[in-house]
Chain A
Amino acid sequence: MALCKGKTIYHTLLGIYKQHISTSYFSTNKVLSNMYKDRVPSVQSIEELNALCIDDKPVEKKIRIPAKSEFSSAVTYDPIVQKFINILMRDGKKEKTREIIEQVLENIKMKQIENYHKATTDAEKAMVVTDPLKVFHGAVENCKPLLILKTIVKGGSGYRVPVYCHERRRLRVGINFIIKTCDTRKRKVPLSTVLATEILQAYNNEGNAVGKKHQLHKECEAQRAFAHYRWK
């Protein structure tokens, strides 16, 4: 705060000394304006106040534009699916990612309906889940880690320390695991088919995306000696 006050004093002095200053002794220009001489008297009564603004126009305020969000009360809206779309999007192309995820949900639904009709007994039919949103939620739940490694600098060197974190952060890490296992460069098959198989496997606790979560947990186990670095 000390710096700020000095700044204002410096700038006011600079503004004053930037005016044209004549050098001769007999000039009549004002060099420094008198603060108390040119003051306008303050408004003392209501009639003077009303006389100042004659038309009853409202004061123009700056319009604040709200941030964009896709929240809606329609039947087709789901918050976790919307988060997935926002993370998968690149270059601001939201329509393309929305079409990809629509295809993913259709693929999941078709595969599960096939399995439902192939199962013969009633007990097997009850085990097959055909709701695509339930499969989606379950897969994302199985990919979320419990602890996360965070680098803490102590004594000049950085240590990776296992740490608790918020629900939001865990969701994001879980979704990133799913996307990065599917998005390889050498792929000849559209992204929607690869994502659909990956999500179905994650629902049953198999596959590469869940394997990444297990690997993170193992590294946390190995670094548990430094856990007390969390509190300085």
Chain B
Amino acid sequence: ILIRRPALEVMDILKRLNYNYPLTRFLLYGEMNAGKKFTMTHIMHYCRSQNWVLLTVPWANEWNCKRLDVSFNHHKESLFDLPVHSKILLEDFLLKNMSLIKEFTTSTTYEFSEHEASEQGIPLTDLISFGITRMKFANDVVGALLKELQILANNDKIKLLVTIRGINSFWRKTGQKKEKVQEIHAQQLTLVNQFMELLQSDTKNAVAMCSTESWVNDVTDRKSYLPTELMGKEGVDFLEPFLPIEVPKYGNAELQSVMDYYIDRRWIQAPEAKTLDGRAQIKFLSGHNPYQLYRVCVPL
């Protein structure tokens, strides 16, 4: 059995939480390739077995890349839309939570433009499929979805889990230039603003899990891994009452059990590496890092 300690801590806390209070925020931090993504998948699997609704953002730095398909927002002049990425988000959401959203309907009307609007009382799946087919309004549909989920959670009908991986990309510059002259900052995107409203709202029955990654920076800047250095002062002020959880490197007993697992699955094959001497060499070469353990055993 290969579950690590930070995942067990979070699961313990989730069992004993009082869900009448507003959002609780967790922050996972740790060195590069220490296993933050793996603990997040463990927690998501646990929440799914308890029938929670999952909202996942697998990699938040995708919104910061160069050559985005950016269009201007209709309602506010200064913000920018991302049609392709919001469409991918909606498709993902539909696939994961199909069986849980069947009965719910919208509560108010939403106007997307002068001629098109959605009425009251439509099932949620219709709203989402409308956003998938018409990419022009996909970003507005995402905003509508988030408001609906907040209303549903406040009425004690569903439980929400929001996971964002790489949250320190919200306070950086994107690589995109407006009409090839001005640079766009991440705060000028609508998706970022919508998620920031969610995180600071007062919904019951909801839990948010974020993680700061040093992959977001350039290749030369990747030595720091503490959250205050990565997020900056604005980020820490925004997320102020949060629960920090550290994901450490492997200990001695964990290393031995992982190597037993590799030998059982036939990843380590050389007969010299299975002795005590060989294991001590592998332990020294990897430096207690999970990813480096994987790479050292490739030619063996």
Interface size on B, residues (CB 8 A): 14
Interface mask (A78-102 → B, CB under 8 Å = 1, otherwise 0): 0001000000000000000000001
Q: Is A176 close to B, CB under 8 A?
A: no
Choose the segment among A17-25, A127-135, A142-150, A189-197 that binds chain B (4+ C-beta atoms closer than 8 Å).
A127-135
Using CB atoms, name the residue of chain A closest to B299: A105
Partner of A102, one of B270, B278, B299: B299
Which chain A residues border B267 with CB–CB below 8 Å?
Answer: 109
Asked if A75 and B272 sit within 8 Å, CB to CB, the answer is yes
Q: Does chain A have a CB within 8 A of B66?
A: no
Pairwise interchain contact B270-A133, C-beta atoms closer than 8 A: yes
B281-300 near A? 1/0 per residue, CB < 8 Å: 11001000000000010111
Instruction: For chain B, residues 128 to 164, give those with C-beta under 8 angstroms from any C-beta of chain A.
Output: none
State the interface size on chain A (CB cutoff 8 A). 14
Question: Within 8 Å CB of A131, what residues of B?
Answer: 269-270
A153 to B63, CA, bound (A): 72
CA A76 to CA B300, docked complex, whole Å: 6
- Smallest CB separation, A109 vs chain B (Å): 7
CB distance from B279 to the nearest CB of A (A): 9
Chain B residues with CB under 8 A of A81: 299
What B residues does A106 contact at CB under 8 A?
Answer: 298-299
Residue of B nearest to A116 (CB): B266
CB contacts (< 8 Å) of B273 on chain A: these are 75
Verify if A113 is at the interface (C-beta below 8 Å from B). Answer: yes
C-beta contact mask, A49-78 vs B, less than 8 Å → 1, else 0? 000000000000000000000000011100
- Residue from the list A74, A109, A132, A133 in contact with B281, Cβ < 8 A: A74
Nearest CB of chain A from residue B197's CB, rounded to whole Å: 45
* Cβ–Cβ < 8 Å partners of A105 in chain B: 298-299
Q: Decide: B270 and A75 in contact? CB cutoff 8 A.
A: yes
* A-B contact sample (8 more), CB < 8 A, given A75-B300, A113-B266, A130-B266: A74-B281, A74-B285, A75-B273, A76-B285, A102-B299, A105-B299, A109-B267, A132-B299
